[in-house]
Amino acid sequence: MFALVDCNNFYASCERVFRPDLNGKPIVVLSNNDGCVIARSNEAKDLGIPMGAPAFEYEKVFQQQKVHVFSANFALYGDMSHRVMSVLSDYSPDMEIYSIDECFLSLKGFEFFNLQEYGMLMRNKVVKWTGIPISVGIAPTKALSKVANRIAKKFSERTKGVYIIDSEESRIKALKWLKVEDVWGIGRQHAKRLQAQGVKTAYDFTLLNDAFVRKQMSIVGLRLKHDLQGIPTLNLDEVQPKKNIATTRSFDGNYTKFEQISERVSTFAVSCAEKLRKQNSCCNSLMVFVHTNRHRKDLPQYSRNIVIQLPFATNSSIELSKFAVQALKQIFKEGYSYKKAGVIVQDFTPQDSVQKSLFEERNEKHIPLMKAVDKLNALFGQQKIRLASQDAKRVWKMKQEKLSPNYTTKLSDIITIKI
């Protein structure tokens, strides 16, 4: 058996932990630069505020409906996630953290446990120790535990936040209830193709011919089908290094000069290099992209990206910055007002398995140099040591006008109790 534990409206719940006066009141959390809605409490959902709603378009709605609006506080959410996962790790020796707010637990060997009571113990302890409400779905496979979790959350008053699929009857009933577009792992395009074939529910999907599913959705779709049929096919994944790393940002204004954008691209490449070194990887290619502000219909529009193969695998900030700026030169055009750029590094090789080139090799002197830079930045603060191509005075800062305090990660923001 597997348990899928999901934190309810996680970002909004994190804000409520330290603001109990917000219980029962509508809350939305905004994306980077306070752009659009990325999380909603149930009360905000009931008001009809959609996910991804542009904040500037809904300002009047927020005011009229007395919606409490927060800038995304990822330091707080990350720490609260760690606390929740630490509590849950006591309930199973095998755990897969799937995202910031959900994880799978293997319940192999728990056959003689009352799993309903076990799920309730899990739920009560997480709420008591962290203040974060969770839903627990338990089933024979990972895909079915996802379905069970959805039912636990949807019908929380009846299920008390815990639902178990433990029989063929309950499996079929759950799959007939779930729409095919809501199945974990079935994307929008696949859902459209399946609906065109008359597949409306998850149960309909499990009745399809194996050969058809494999042809339309590859082996991944076939594994999903078997998992939904109650045949364990998807196992717990170990934590894997990332397969690509991106640093992208919107600018604080419209940039027209190459020098302005190249400084930003250089900084983004340095950020990617730091993340590569943290997971002991080197990249063999990188992508650079730029685009104008699509919301400014009065300005000419331009969008372009380029992928370049590197002559050797590297995680050096110096080398990646140089290659990223070279790529930018190939796609930059005069006469446009640019609003966003980004660098994505990909095609990774483990740092200790880098194959040397016959003609061009990475500068071995960069390895101890980068270690020294990382150590100094960790000691004195991020970006204290920079490349000459970066603006020494510039510190990129997101627009976060409605940011809550970092209650758990910053001593100056710790709660003061008056008695």
Stated as kind and residue range, the H or E segment containing 310 is: strand 303-314
The residue behind tokens 């409520």 is: 16
Class of domain 168-228: mainly alpha
- The rounded distance, in Å, linking the Cα atoms of 245 and 315 is 12
In tens, the pLDDT along 308-363 reads 999 888 999 999 999 999 999 999 999 999 999 999 998 888 887 666 655 555 56
Residue 161 in tokens: 């936040």
Residue 297 in this model has a pLDDT that exceeds 90: no
The answer to whether 169 touches 177, Cβ cutoff 8 Å, is no
Q: Which of 32, 87, 399 is nearest to 252 (CA)?
A: 399
In tens, the pLDDT along 114-144 reads 999 999 999 999 999 999 999 999 999 999 9
Cα-flanking dihedrals φ and ψ of residue 61, to 5°? Answer: -60, -45
The residue behind tokens 């459209």 is: 192
Q: What is the mean pLDDT of the chain?
A: 88
Sheet strands side by side (includes 281-292): 244-255, 338-350, 281-292, 303-314
Choice among 197-211, 244-258, 272-286 with the minimum mean pLDDT: 244-258
In tens, the pLDDT along 33-91 reads 788 899 999 999 999 999 988 988 899 999 999 999 999 888 899 899 999 999 999 99
CATH architecture of 2-164: 2-Layer Sandwich (3.30)
Stated as kind and residue range, the H or E segment containing 77 is: helix 74-88
**Could you say which DSSP state residue 230 is in?**
T
Cα-flanking dihedrals φ and ψ of residue 137, to 5°? Answer: -115, 130
> Which residues is 27 bridged to in the sheet?
68
> Which residues is 244 bridged to in the sheet?
346
CATH architecture of 244-380: 2-Layer Sandwich (3.30)
- The rounded distance, in Å, linking the Cα atoms of 266 and 269 is 5
**Could you say which DSSP state residue 247 is in?**
E
- The rounded distance, in Å, linking the Cα atoms of 354 and 235 is 30
DSSP assignment of 364-414 equals TTHHHHHHHHHHHHHHH-TTSS--TTS-TT-------TTBPP-TTT-GGGP
In tens, the pLDDT along 229-262 reads 999 888 876 445 667 888 888 887 889 999 999 9
- pLDDT computed for residue 109 by the predictor: 87
The reply to whether 2-164 and 168-228 are identical in fold is no
**Could you say which DSSP state residue 48 is in?**
T
- Could you tell me which residue, 397 or 350, shows the higher pLDDT? 350
Mean pLDDT throughout 151-179?
Answer: 94
> Which residues is 29 bridged to in the sheet?
39, 70
Q: Structural domain boundaries of the chain? A: 2-164, 168-228, 244-380
